Chain A
Amino acid sequence: MQIGYFVEQLYSDLPEDEIIKNGGFFGVPNKYFDPKVGAKLYHRYISEHLEAERVGFDMLVLNEHHSNPACMSHVVTVEASILAYATKRAKIVTLGVPLPITKNPLRVAEELAMIDMISGGRLVPGIIRGASFEQVASNTNPTQNRELFDEAYEFMIQAWTREGPWRYEGKHFHYRYVNPWTRPLQEKPLVLVPGVISPETVVWAAKRGLPYVALATEVNATRKMWNLYGDTAEKMGYQVGPENFGYLQKMVLADSDEEAYEIGKGHMFGGSHATPKYSALPGYNSKIAIREYANKFYALMNPKAADPHNVEQQRKALLDNYPKLVDAGHILVGTPKTVIPKIRKILEQLRPGMFTVWGPEGPVAHEKVMRMMTLMGNEVLPAIREMAKELGLDDPFSVKLGARPLPANGRWKPLVEDGEHTAAA
Chain B
Amino acid sequence: MSGWVERSIDIGGEPLVLLEAGKGRPLLILHDELGPADWQVWHEKAVAAGRKLIMPVLPGFRSDRLKWIRDVRDLASFLGRVLRQEDLVPVDVIGFSFGGWLAAEMAVANPGQFRKMALVAPFGIKPAEGYITDMFIVTSAEYIRMSFADAAATPEFSALYGSPDPQTIEGWEDARRECAEIAWQPYMHSPSLDHLLGGVGALPVLLLWGDKDAIVPESAMRAYEKALPHVEAKVFAGCGHRPELERREDFAAHLTRFLD
Contact = CB atoms under 8 A, between A and B. Distances in A.
A141 B139 contact: no
Nearest to A136: B137
B138 A141 contact: no
A143 B137 contact: no
A336 interface: no
B180 A278 contact: no
B76 interface: no
B173 interface: yes
Nearest to A139: B185
Nearest to A27: B137
B184 interface: yes
Interface SS of chain B: helix
A282 B179 CA distance: 9
Contacts, number: 33
B138 A282 contact: no
B181 interface: yes
Interface string A100-142: 0000000000000000000000000000000000001001011
A139 B137 CA distance: 12
A389 interface: no
A141 B180 contact: yes
A143 B181 contact: yes
Given A139-B185, A141-B185, A277 B137 contact: yes
A278 B173 CA distance: 15
Interface residues of A, number: 12
B136 interface: yes
A141 B181 contact: yes
A282 B185 contact: no
A136 B136 CA distance: 9
A283 interface: yes
A281 B185 contact: no
Contacts of B179: 282
B136 A281 contact: yes
B73 interface: no
A82 B136 CA distance: 37
A187 B52 CA distance: 67
B177 interface: yes
A356 B181 CA distance: 37
A403 interface: no
A300 interface: no
A280 interface: yes
Interface in B114-146: 136-139
Contact of B138 (A139, A143, A144, A277): A277
B51 interface: no
Interface string A173-197: 0000000000000000000000000
Contacts of B181: 141, 143-144, 283
Contacts of A278: 137
A237 B180 CA distance: 38
Contacts of B248: none
Contacts of B62: none
Interface in A230-286: 277-278, 280-283
A387 to B, nearest CB: 45
A404 B136 CA distance: 45
A71 B223 CA distance: 43
Interface of B: 136-139, 173, 176-177, 179-181, 184-185
Interface of A: 136, 139, 141-144, 277-278, 280-283
Given A142-B184, A282-B176, A282-B179, 18 more contacts: A136-B137, A139-B184, A142-B136, A143-B177, A143-B180, A143-B181, A143-B184, A144-B181, A277-B137, A277-B139, A278-B137, A280-B139, A281-B136, A281-B137, A281-B180, A283-B176, A283-B177, A283-B180
20 contacts: A139-B185, A141-B184, A142-B136, A142-B180, A143-B177, A143-B181, A144-B181, A277-B137, A277-B139, A278-B137, A280-B139, A281-B136, A281-B137, A281-B180, A282-B173, A282-B176, A282-B177, A282-B180, A283-B176, A283-B181
